[in-house]
Structure 1
Amino acid sequence: MAQSDFLYPDNPRRRQEVNRLHQQLLDCLSDSFRATNKLSDILNMHLGCRLPLIEMKRDGTIKENCDSIIQAIMKIQKELQKVDDALKKKLEPTLYRKLQDLKERETEKIAIVQKVISVVLGEATSAASAVAVKLVGSNVTTGIINKLVAVLAQIGGSLLGSIGVAVLGLGLDMMFRAILGAVEKTQLEAAIRNYEKHLVEFKAASEKYHHAITEVTNSVKHQMK
C-alpha cells in the first residue's frame, strides 16, 4: 500500500473505480467498432459499397479510437448520401416525400424503392430496398448516427481522450508517490466524474445505434426469406 493511502484511505477505492469505469468505456468502444463493421458489411453486401472494416487500436488512446469510429461512420454516411441523392433523382417528388415520411408504412416505402433501386445500383434485391429504407428513409442517419458521432467527439476531446486503451494514463509514479497523495485524490475524483458523465451519454447513444443496426439486419433477413 502506498504511504499516501494511509493519509487518504479512499484512494485505493477511487483507483479501482477509475479502472472499472475505464473498462466500461472500452467495452462501449469495442461494441461500437463491432456495430460499425456490421453496418459496413451490410452496405457492402447489399448496396455495393466498398467500406473498409476497422479495428480497435489496443496501443492507441481513447481519442484515436473514437476518431477511427467517427471516420468510418462518416464514410458510411457518404455512401448513404449517394443512395439518397440517386433515389431523389429517380423518384417522383411525391414518392420521394413518402420515403422521407416517418409515418409512412415501411412496406410501402420498400415498394417505392424497389421501383428504382435496380437503376440506382445496377442490379438489386429486395434486401437492398429494405436496407435503403431503413438507413435512408428514416432518422437513423440524421439522428441516431449523428448523435453517436457527437458523443464520440466529446469523449475524444475531453480529459479522457489522452488516456491509453491498454493502460490508464494517470502516471504510476504519481499514483504511488506519498507526497502527492492529495493530488492523486483530486485527479482520481476528476477522472471518475469525467468517466461517469461521458459514459451515460455514450451508453445511451450506443444502445440506439446498435438497435438501429439490428433492425436493419432483421429487415434484411425478412426480405431474404
Structure 2
Amino acid sequence: MSWIDLFCPDNSERRESLIRKNQELHVLMRNNFRATNQLIDVLKEHLGLSFSKITLNEKATVKENCDKIIARIREIQAEVEKINQQLKQKLEPTLYEKLKNKSLSECDFQPVLNVVRRLYHLAAISSAVALVAWLISNVTMMTSITVTFGLIAIGVMGCVVFGVLCMGIGLILGNIVGKMERDRLERALKEYDKALEEFRPASEKYQDSITYVRISIQMMQ
C-alpha cells in the first residue's frame, strides 16, 4: 500500500474495480467489432452484399471507434430496409408476415425462396431466406447497439484513447493523489457503471444473435 492509500485506504480497491471495468469494456468493444465483421462475411456469402470490414484502432479514441461501428451498422440497416421494402412488394402479405416472424411452414418456404433468389440472383439456397428473416426481425436489436455505442461515445470515456483501456488506470488518472484521486475514481466508476449497464446486455445480445444466425445457416447447408 502506498502512503497515499494510508489516507484513503479504499482507493486501492477502487483502482482494481476500475481496471476490471476497463478490461470488460475493452473485451466488449473487440467482440462487437468481430461480430460485425462476421455479419459482413455472412451478408456477402449468402446475399452478395458487400460492406468493408472494420478494424478497431488502438490509437484512436473510444468515440472514434464507436463512430466506426455505428456507421457500418447503419449502412447494413439501410440495406436491410431496402430488402424489407422489396419483399413487402413481392410477397403476399401473409407470407411476408410469416417471414418477418420467422414462422414459415414447409409449404411457405419455396415461394419465399423463389422471390429472394430472383431479387439477389442467387442459387436456390435456403440459407438466404434464413438470413433475410433474421435481418428483418432484428432491426430493433441493431438499432439498440448503435444507441449504446453512442452513449459510450458521448460519455466521459469517449475522449480516452482506446489503447489506454488496456494499460491500466494510471494513464487515465495521471498524478491525481489522495482525496482528489478518490473523487476522480468514484466519478470514473459511476461513469463506467452507467455505460456498462447499457452496453453489456446490448453487446451480448448483438454478439449472440450473429452467432445464432451463423450457426443456423451452417446447419441448413
Kindly indicate whether the alpha-carbon contact (under 8 Å) linking 1:106 and 1:133 is maintained by their aligned counterparts in 2.
no
Residues 76-117 of structure 1: per-residue CA shift (max 9 Å, x gap): 1112122212212221233223323x3734756644420201
Trace 1:154-173 onto structure 2 (pairs within 5 A): 154-167=151-164, 168=169, 170-173=172-175
Letter in 2 for 1:186: D
Determine the C-alpha separation between the residues in 2 that align with 1:107 and 1:27.
41
Superposition map of 1:71-150 within 5 A: 71-100=71-100, 102=101, 104-105=103-104, 110-124=109-123, 125-136=125-136, 138=137, 140-141=138-139, 143-150=140-147
**TM-score, length basis structure 2:** 0.88
**Equivalences, count:** 215
Which residue does 1:222 correspond to in 2?
219
Q: Which amino acid aligns with 1:90?
A: K
- After superposition, the Cα gap between the structure-2 partners of 1:221 and 1:75, relative to the gap in structure 1 and judged at 3 Å, is same
Distance 2:111 2:70 in 1: 31
3-state DSSP of counterpart to 2:49: coil
Q: TM-score, normalised by structure 1?
A: 0.86
1:28-64 deviation per Cα after TM superposition (whole angstroms, max 9, x unaligned): 0001001111011100111111111111111112111
Structure 1 residue matching 2:213: 3-state secondary structure:
helix
The answer for the alignment partner of 1:24 in structure 2 is 24
Indicate the SS of the match to 2:195: helix
Aligned counterparts of 1:173 and 1:122: Cα–Cα separation in 2: 61
Unaligned runs of 5+ in 1: 175-179
Structure-1 separation of matches of 2:15 and 2:161: 16
**Which residue identity lines up with residue 119 of structure 1 in the other structure?**
R
Q: Higher mean Cα deviation, 154-163 or 165-174?
A: 165-174
Preserved CA contact (<8 Å) 1:48 1:121: yes
Unpaired runs of 5+ residues, structure 2, are none
SS of structure 2 residue aligned to 1:205: helix
Q: State the partner residue of 2:205.
A: 208
Within a 5 Å distance, the mapping from 1:184-199 to structure 2 comes to 184-199=181-196
Quote the residue 1:177 is aligned against.
none
- How far apart, CA to CA, are the structure 1 residues paired with 2:141 and 2:19? 29
The answer to whether the 8 Å contact 2:70/2:149 transfers is yes
Task: Say if 1:106 and 1:92 are closer, same or farther in 2 by CA, change over 3 A.
Answer: closer
